[in-house]
Amino acid sequence: MRPFVYVKPKDVESAVLAAAAPRSKFLGGGTNLVDLMREGIETPDTVVDVTGLPLDTIEELPAGGLRIGALVRNSTLAADRRVRTGYRMLSEALLSGASGQLRNMATVGGNLLQRTRCPYFYDHSAACNKRDPGSGCDALDGFHRGCAVLGVSGSCIATHPSDMCVALAALDAVVEVRGAAGIRRVPLAELHRLPGNTPNLENTLAAGELITAVELPAPLSARSVYRKVRDRASYAFALVSVAAVLQVDDGTISQVRLALGGVGAKPWRAHEAERLLLGGPADEDAFRRAAEAELAAATVRPENAFKVTLATSTIVAVLGQLSENGARE
């Protein structure tokens, strides 16, 4: 590991000021950054440890939502009674996202910014535009079974790894950011970039900006669920995941939100599927048509083409589960 300057500020303003130094990185739980530094992928000159900042609380908002500090641990958020009752799929996503040990260390802010687990990104002998811009992408014709099929480009087909972000995308979460220019609020859907020709630029944060909180709107009356399909039941990244909210009134869908993980270059909000479902019947044919329409834009390669069928089936199953639960109540 190469030498770096370590700073631990006592307030947010000092943290933002410290991060103004070139090649700076914020350190929260360290479950991603420390690994990347060990591998020589992240090589910051300055590490700004933000774990001492007062950003570790979950507070109720006047309008009925929640404000979640960026340093709240994933295990704390998943176990919070308000999250388990009002935002069930967020709790389920967090619990499926990592082992207990990692959840106890990982922070909400760090989870938002975790980097891909594409094997070529971690392999210095491989070409990876995300790690080394302009070098190429060995995943295109290499081992790409776990790679994305939505939002990809000829420069990168890496999958976004977060489970939490998929649930937050479906919940219309907003990210609060503090920088030298002050505070701004970024919809979760606008935080992450698609790769395009610059896959090394993964988010819309300016240099030195610090995520301070995530805000959730008031809980929905509709039912929600997060389902993750993976190679093994223990800790593993998603092949496909679905965060779904569904409200059915008299057989007609009155409210629906869908987001997908494991298939997108960023947390994927399924707007086309939502458009087709809203106001229509809550039956399997409608669920399948909507899922197929959303996946029609997929760009597949030989080893990950199965994700289109798997994602379609998972969407249909999850929506079916939610509609059946509603019918029984």
Domain ranges of the chain: 223-328
pLDDT of res. 328: 46
Confidence of residue 1 (pLDDT cuts 50, 70, 90): low
Which secondary structure element, helix H or strand E, spans residue 18, and what is its range? helix 12-18
Residue 119 has pLDDT above 90, yes or no: yes
The CB density around residue 101, as the number of other CB atoms within 10 Å, is 11
Confidence check: pLDDT of 268 > 70: yes
Domain 223-328: CATH architecture, name and number where available: 2-Layer Sandwich (3.30)
CA 189 to chain centre: 10
Nearest of 11, 9, 31, 29 to residue 21 by alpha carbon: 9
Q: Which residues contact 166 (CB under 8 A, 6 or more apart)?
A: 93, 226, 241, 243, 259, 260, 261, 267, 268
Residue of 15, 261, 77 lying closest to 151 (CA atoms): 261
Per-residue pLDDT, 31? 92
Mean pLDDT of 152-179: 98
Q: C-alpha angle 242/245/250, rounded to 5°?
A: 130
> How high is the pLDDT of residue 329?
45
| Cβ contacts of 65 within 8 Å, gap of 6 or more | 215, 216, 217, 218, 219
pLDDT single digits (tens) 46-100: 999 999 999 999 999 999 999 999 999 999 999 999 999 999 999 999 999 888 8
